[in-house]
Amino acid sequence: MINENQPNNEKNESQPEALAETRPQVASLPESDPQGTDDINSTQPGKAAKKPSRGAHVRSGFLISLLVLVAALGLGGFAGYDTGVAERVSAQSTLVASQLGDQFSLVQQDMTAGRYSVARQRLEFIIGQDPSFPGASEKLAEILVKQAITPSPVPTETPTLTPTPDTRNQEAVFAQSQQQMTSKDWTNLMGSLDTLRKTDPAYKTAIVDSMYYTALRNRGMDQILGTGTYKTTNLEGGIYDLTLAERFGPLDGQADGLRSFARMYITAASFWSVDWPRAVDYFRQVVQFAPNLRDSSNVTASQRLYQALLQYGDQIAGVGGKSKDQCKALDLWKEASGIQALNNDYQYKYDQLDNTCNPITPTPNSPTP
């Protein structure tokens, strides 16, 4: 009996293990919590917990390492991409800054050459690329001001080649002007010089200017003095020629002094019969240095002073009446007599006034003893 039941007992003992394999497995707690494992096993008798195998741990570690490696590679690639982009942007910025600097240096060259429109275009490009570029805004404002003041250059046509001018005519006129200068024909010399200057203003400029000065200076002197080709004086014309001569060079002392006396003569003549005292004063100054200076009436300054003194004396003596200072007329008539002898009429006037102003006192007779 015992032997017959033994196989059954073995079969009954092995049945729980089979049942355990067919039931779903209960997740086991980590190995680090052995206490919890004991509790579970104690609450569920007859059930055995199945521990994870060593291969599962290896696979899990491999997957984790693979994920970490992929993440690291991704982060590294992304960081490298960012670094490459940053370096490319930096290089591009450096290149753009260099190009803008070159354009800004060309702006100054354009301004120096007067190409304000080109310089303005460069600055507008620079500001469009970098509004904070140093000095660009100030330069643009400066160019706008210059363009508002400086007119835009007008394009000129390409000059055509002209043949060398024929100067044979100028040479002939120049030779003629030299002959006129030698013969002191100042008026015709002026005409020849005018022809040369109108034909070619650059023809022997220094020599022609010197000849102009000589012709104007000498013709002015001749007109004032009435010498050379001038038979009568022309004070105004002489003054004008001497003034023109000053444009080519300073006047010498003789010419400048003669021009001053000519002006003084004209001023003295303007007071004739209007203001005898002032006429006398001006003619006295002219006679002191140029007694023979005369006007177109051919009356010298000495003769003018003589007549002015007589007329001024008549005014003081009070013709037709008595003047308070009539005796001063004696001094004026006496001064006139130093220039020219008084005629009979003025000599009689002088004697009469002298008897009045300087009467002869009779000598008293001495008593006889």
Share of the chain above pLDDT 90, in %: 22
Q: Is residue 353 scored above 60 in pLDDT?
A: yes
Q: Report which secondary-structure segment, H or E, holds 23.
A: none
- Residue 365's pLDDT is 57
Mean pLDDT of 2-23: 41
Task: Give dist(CA 258, CA 293) in Å, integer.
Answer: 9
Question: Is residue 311 predicted with pLDDT exceeding 80?
Answer: yes
Specify the pLDDT at position 11.
41
Is the model's pLDDT at 216 over the cut of 60? Answer: yes
Q: What is the pTM of this model?
A: 0.50
C-alpha–C-alpha distance, residues 141 and 134, integer Å: 13
**Range ranked top by mean pLDDT from 42-46, 91-95, 278-282:** 278-282
Mean pLDDT of the 224-247 span: 89
Section 301-324 average pLDDT: 81
Looking at per-residue pLDDT, the higher value among 117 and 51 belongs to: 117
Between CA 132 and CA 130 the distance in angstroms is: 5
Q: What is the pLDDT of residues 162-208, one digit of tens each?
A: 444 445 588 888 899 899 989 988 999 999 999 988 988 888 889 88
The residue-averaged pLDDT of 99-111 equals 82
Residue 133 near residue 104 (C-beta atoms within 8 A): yes
DSSP structure string for 52-107: PPHHHHHHHHHHHHHHHHHHHHHHHHHHHHHHHHHHHHHHHHHHHHHHHHHHHHHH
Task: Give the pLDDT confidence of 244-277 residue by residue, as tens digits.
Answer: 999 988 988 999 999 999 999 999 999 999 999 9
Produce one character per residue of 44-70: b if its CB has 16 or more CB atoms within 10 Å, e if not: eeeeeeeeeeeeeeeeeeeeeeeeeee
pLDDT at 134: 82
pLDDT at 265: 93
